[in-house]
Structure 1
């Protein structure tokens, strides 16, 4: 029996179900919930890599992350997102962003599955609903951004957080760039689709663009739009990159997550 427990303000929801025993009806309910809440998480899931990939394929085609090598040749779509106690820089993804927005076809969804985590509450992932952020935008800003595209780069501000892992497991690739509409309509609702960690400009360029950028970033991550997900071992989360920003919280210690992105 599948149970859905929405968080406050419907910013994400916990799904209570055994992912090893899900039915097609369960998958339908999970997809509908993902559209509504933007973020879903499942506690106490014992999944090997084969089962993890099988579940992910229900949501679309699996992507290869361009900046890091996969877990193995057999499971190349799984990326290891790791923090080591010896790491000196910020955590991987320690700034609000949406995944791989610098590609021409960014992933719609991201999955994380926790393999090793510190004490509960010490290495959270924070999410910010961009459905809510859009709803609270002033009318003048909405009109200003309606026909504007964001210009994004893989070498944007957040790239500093990937350097430790790219040294160990990275691919030698050139800078990746893209442009995407800042206001998107997803599932009949408007959302702000803009990654503070990757944005380098606007197209066409806006008057007072730096001021607009700062105001937009500040608005996107207001506390009233946020939910902080506490990780436990063997916990899976999936979110819609088009309607949710996310970031890792700073922490010292060891953490290993297996990530899949879905086109």
Structure 2
């Protein structure tokens, strides 16, 4: 079954609005902000297996734009139900075959709709068990994903927490001089999977440099995007920079560019921009990939961890 057929089947099998017992009452659902955290809100009472009313999806979209991550508790879904729920919020992210991403398949050149993010052999084995530094997904593509949903199926006893970083707050906390300095800059984020393929690796960041100096070769494609990104719904500005992969400021002197990126990356890691999620089985976290970063704590290699990710298509950053 191809990924397109999988999505079509999910929509075909989804609960129907005209069947009252399958349409969830919007009054059963509450959205509670994490007031003491840098971002996030918890959604209580929602059953993602059910058809959702238009007012519910509208509320959730507004809440995501405001709080940047939404946490749905106690879900129990198969892949089709998960896809059907995710598709309320947008199209599935499908990068071009010449821009490899996590879980790109050799036969199609694109990832599956539902990606198992796991260290368990046969369940994906895409991200191992080590630490993952703060990053936004798919920054090196022409149209990075707007958001992703991550669903916890099986969790280790120790570690494996995921943290999210609010890059709107990070931008707002910069001094005016720094904001003025960076507002019109463009940044190229180079594809770590292209580098890994070039080095005959298995994918991921590995030994990727932190900055590309102009005497170094370009590996993969180079797509300039704004260093300061504007959120398409709220209009808020965000510092759109990850902390680990190879980047380059366009038309900027190498040493000065490297120093500026180092300074901004240190700023992004301040604890006041960060929320760390303690996973429970059945959690789905839905995040806005346009204005957040996320990272993962390591966990023991002999403990299984299986989550499933669905990424949603976005537009060209501006």
Normalising by structure 1, we get a TM-score of 0.85
Classify the secondary structure of the residue corresponding to 1:19: coil
- Return the offset for 1:18: 1.7
Asked if 1:148 is matched to 2:171, the reply is no
Report the structure number with the largest CA radius of gyration: 2
Q: Counterpart in 1 of 2:73?
A: 43
Alignment of 1:92-241 (within 5 A): 94-119=132-157, 122-155=159-192, 175-186=220-231, 187-206=234-253, 208-241=256-289
- Return the offset for 1:64: 3.3
Paired residues, what number?
Answer: 248
Q: Counterpart in 2 of 1:57?
A: 87
Asked if 1:14 is matched to 2:52, the reply is no
**Relative CO higher for 1 or 2, CA cutoff 8 Å, sep ≥ 6?**
1
Which consecutive segments of 4 or more residues in structure 1 shift more than 4 A?
163-166
Partner of residue 80 from structure 1, selected from 89, 101, 116: 116
- Return the offset for 1:82: 0.8
Q: Counterpart in 2 of 1:247?
A: 295
- Return the offset for 1:76: 2.6
Normalising by structure 2, we get a TM-score of 0.71
- Return the offset for 1:196: 2.2
Does structure 1 retain, via aligned residues, the 8 Å contact 2:185–2:227?
A: yes
Relative distance call for 1:176 and 1:124 in structure 2 (3 A) is: farther
Measure the CA separation in 1 of the matches of 2:38 and 2:294.
16
Classify the secondary structure of the residue corresponding to 2:70: strand
- Return the offset for 1:84: 4.2
Does structure 2 retain, via aligned residues, the 8 Å contact 1:101–1:198?
A: no
Measure the CA separation in 2 of the matches of 1:192 and 1:154.
19
Relative distance call for 1:141 and 1:199 in structure 2 (3 A) is: farther
Write the deviation string for residues 1-35 of structure 1: whole angstroms up to 9, x where unpaired.
11112112451111112222332211111111000
Classify the secondary structure of the residue corresponding to 2:260: helix
Measure the CA separation in 2 of the matches of 1:233 and 1:165.
27
Does structure 2 retain, via aligned residues, the 8 Å contact 1:41–1:238?
A: yes
Which one has a larger percent strand, Structure 1 or Structure 2?
Answer: 1
Q: Counterpart in 2 of 1:171?
A: none
Asked if 1:2 is matched to 2:29, the reply is yes
Does structure 2 retain, via aligned residues, the 8 Å contact 1:90–1:250?
A: no
Q: Counterpart in 2 of 1:256?
A: 306
Measure the CA separation in 2 of the matches of 1:9 and 1:188.
22
- Return the offset for 1:159: 6.7
Measure the CA separation in 2 of the matches of 1:180 and 1:154.
13
Classify the secondary structure of the residue corresponding to 1:106: coil
